[in-house]
Amino acid sequence: MSTQNTAASAASSSNRIQQHRRYLMCRPEHFTVTYSINPWMEPDRPTDTAKAVAQWEELYNAYLSLGHEVELIDQVPGLPDMVYTANGGFVIDGKALGVKFRVEERRGEEQPFMDWFAANGFDVVVPQEVQEGEGDFLLVGDTILAGTGFRSVGDSHREIAEVFGREVVSLTLTDPRFYHLDTAIAVLDPVEGPGGVEKANIAYLPGAFDEASRRILEERYPDAILVSDEDGDVFGLNSASDGLNVFISPRAHGFERQLRERGYNPVLVDLSELLLGGGGIKCCTLELRGAR
């Protein structure tokens, strides 16, 4: 982490508004790669659990140092991908929709996440359709962008619209390296700010989507940051934002410049060890909206 100390100066020189966030994270005490369910995972490549924990702690401390709250769920032995808490559910207004994983290797995570939500005051909805939580569902303003193509099925988009009563916009991913929506889109601006709802905006990787989805994104978000393939390839878009501070990979150099030009403050956090499992900053971060 190398740029959080510039947050105050960035705030004074732009109209970006930092919003308080509450996140759910999972310390990767049992992280390893013993199977392959995405192109990033190579079981024959050694992993370093201690390094993964140290990098994860950099992200955890970065959130706390900027005033955000972080709740923790204990990692279950034998479930190394629990560190990617974004896939554990989708939460709005105190209601938590659980997940139903497509891949067998992750199905053991479903109940622990729903149990955690219930124990912490959330109204839990058990899903009927295959979907992988905030990995494929992103709240942008009042709209839910919903991904499909590799993990979450199209019927889950109908289900999430019914559960939350929000507009859902379906987007199709076409590159297997970007198998979840949160690897190809970053939500940058606050959902709500002083004086009412702020204009929501995003950054995205055009090459990760089919032509119809690109047209939708162009029409809805004409001011979006278009990120290069080089920055996408290092999971630059798998990032979290509080409206001012954007937590990104230190290898996404072009994206970092683009963010600074728009008045954001990039906070660089290296999660290269966790990328060996196919996840980055956003994958390790589930936003908790409502309930205590």
User: Active-site positions?
Assistant: 180, 283
Residue 135 backbone dihedrals phi, psi, to 5 degrees: -65, -35
Residues in CB range of 246: below 8 A, 6 or more apart = 186, 188, 239, 240, 259, 264, 265, 266, 267
Sheet strand arrangement including 185-187: 185-187, 202-204, 225-226
Gyration radius (Cα) of the chain, Å = 17
Q: What letter does residue 75 receive in the DSSP assignment?
A: P
Rounded-to-integer distance, Cα 284 and Cα 235, Å: 13
Give how far Cα 161 sits from Cα of 64, 121, 142, 143, 244, Å. Answer: 32, 22, 12, 10, 29
Rounded-to-integer distance, Cα 62 and Cα 76, Å: 25
Rounded-to-integer distance, Cα 144 and Cα 92, Å: 11
